[in-house]
Structure 1
Amino acid sequence: MIGVLGGYGDVGAFTSRALARLGPGPLRIGGRDPVAARRLGAELGASDVGACEVVAQAVDFTDEPSLQRFADGCRILVNCAGPSHAVADRAARAALRAGADYVDAAGDDTLFAALDPGAWSDRAAVLSAGLNPGLTGLLPRWAAARFTEVHGLTCYFGLLDHFTEVAADDYLQGAADGVSEPLAAWRDGRRRPGALRRRTGARVPCYPGTVTALPHLPTEGERLARALGIDRADWYTVVAGEHVRAAFDRVHALDRRDAAAALRRASLLDLAGRAPYVLLLAQLDGLSQGRAATSTVLLRGRRNAELTGAVTAAATLAVARGEVPSGRHFAAGALDPQATIDRLRASGAVTELVVLDAAIEDLDAVEEGAL
């Protein structure tokens, strides 16, 4: 039995649907609204995606007995509930007591530090198993297999989508927790504060119109740079909407509730009349077979929640198949890059994925590329 906490929510519904297609086991879908859980359970049970048994169960992650009843009997507990800081380590502790493995669509450095490594010596806990962080760290690892050495990395990640209440709260908490340092970059094997500047009214290849590029160094990026032995790396969040950019600049002066509401309103204004998208560009510079080489990975998807759910489901399948060793892990470093990319392709959540033998700045002149 695989229990999906928050299994009918924005991310949880995509995760549940993907797991039903992948078929690693029967599903238990839970949340505070039993009607919504039963509705999705009935939809999946009646679908033609496979012979997946689906049951619904009411659960409140703030109520320990309720959460434990949901976790008991599960082989893997998957957390898609939020906001992540409110769930904290509650779900992970319930998984431990139930003797289950654990996968979290979110879960950052704070949760990782809260998990006792000794308690996970005979089971797996996989955190940050979503789009960002998660796929944003795994995709460069996948592309790095083309190189014998990687010296430089430049990443642009952007999306046009709506902020849900949970997503807005998680974004604000992440900024408060310091999981990403604005204007910092990776230089000569270490974090360099203030190395970069914001670019407003910029043109970034493959992104429509002009955008704002916000430089930052995420902890996921620092782990990636250390693992690959990178000398120089830059990360940018690309903001395509003027309303969200303006909201980012003023949320620090608002209380949490008002700030989250401002982000939600701004995202809906930017999305009005436009199709949502996710776009990630990752340029790697280094050596391939003794020669200088540059490659850029381009990934497109439709929605944040859809890609996050697909990654979470892929991570859950990897745990179910014993592909992840026991212990606590971040998804970007623990999942097999090629197997995960293959599963994401099969999910349909990725609409385009190519590797181009060109730098990002040259992509507008590149007509086509081949994997």
Structure 2
Amino acid sequence: MDKPLTYSDAGVDIDKADALVNDIKDIARKTRVPGVMGEIGGFGGLFSLNVANMESPVLVSSTDGVGTKLKIAFMMDKHDTVGIDLVAMCVNDVAVQGAKPLFFLDYLATGRIRDEQVKQIVAGVGQGCQEARCALIGGETAEMPGFYADNEYDLAGFAVGIVDNSKIVDGSEIQVGDQLVGVAASGLHSNGFSLVRKICFDRLKLDVHTHVPALGRTLGEELLTPTRIYSETIQSLLRGLPIRGLAHITGGGIVNNTLRIIPRSCGLRLRRGSWEIPPIFGFLQEAGGVAEKEMMRVFNNGIGLVAVVPETAVQDVLARLSATKEKAFVIGEIVEHKGSDDERCRWE
């Protein structure tokens, strides 16, 4: 008679997953903020809203993943930064609408749970939540044998924030003459990695451990630089400054993401050379022979956040950003637009 089968025989180790929960609880405790109820391990995460100081509270939510940047983590066998990317991609989208992030949940799916790998990933998520000052209140670690390549995984997340209805930043007050203040990115962030891998590994035949003189470090170290989290910077800007619009620069680049928040009657005038472009972008453009237009719609090119502000407030905004240790540049302005959608951005 054949031996009775168990879930473990099929590749799913329930005991290992249960043991990991305790480690994840320790990480989650470090991210606690007022409002968190209970601990990770229940059927759902509980959060008590304090809306005493709000006339009409609105919840803002966002979900995202890390994308093929994960492939770099697999190559490096380094997993402690992709969780920061995950939090950043979600909370930045929440924050640009004026909301303060409240809590975060993650979803990790893998073919086989590797304890150290999972701990590194969740530690990164915890670090990201601490930077964003939001709580990690739940998540899911799914072991799915036969579904993922060995030692690979996928990672997704979900953030919820809150803002008073009267303080939502929606771009509706943007007008001609307003200035575009760009806040520096930390690097590639988490967009365009399919093209990055095509250039670096297919065309140049590089290895993640290759030292690239133009970058001053190994290729893998550069590519795994985590996405900058702007939520606290944005909350600082919103305290007493007239911020008319905010755009998180992700896939689509500076142009497409900024156009999402401005009125249809307006366009953009961007100034070439008005901000510092990190070396990684020039390296990729030259090695891949990538046209400027393609670079600008795939990558952030050194700007991770754009604030639209009245011209009279520019210096105050720059000073506030400097006080929060952010590099910032005036990169353009809002102009009148009466042509086609394809002509809504001009470069000078």
TM-score range, shorter chain: under 0.3
Structure of higher CA gyration radius: 2
User: Is the helix fraction higher in 1 or 2?
Assistant: 1
**TM-score, length of structure 2 as denominator length:** 0.27
**TM-score, length of structure 1 as denominator length:** 0.25
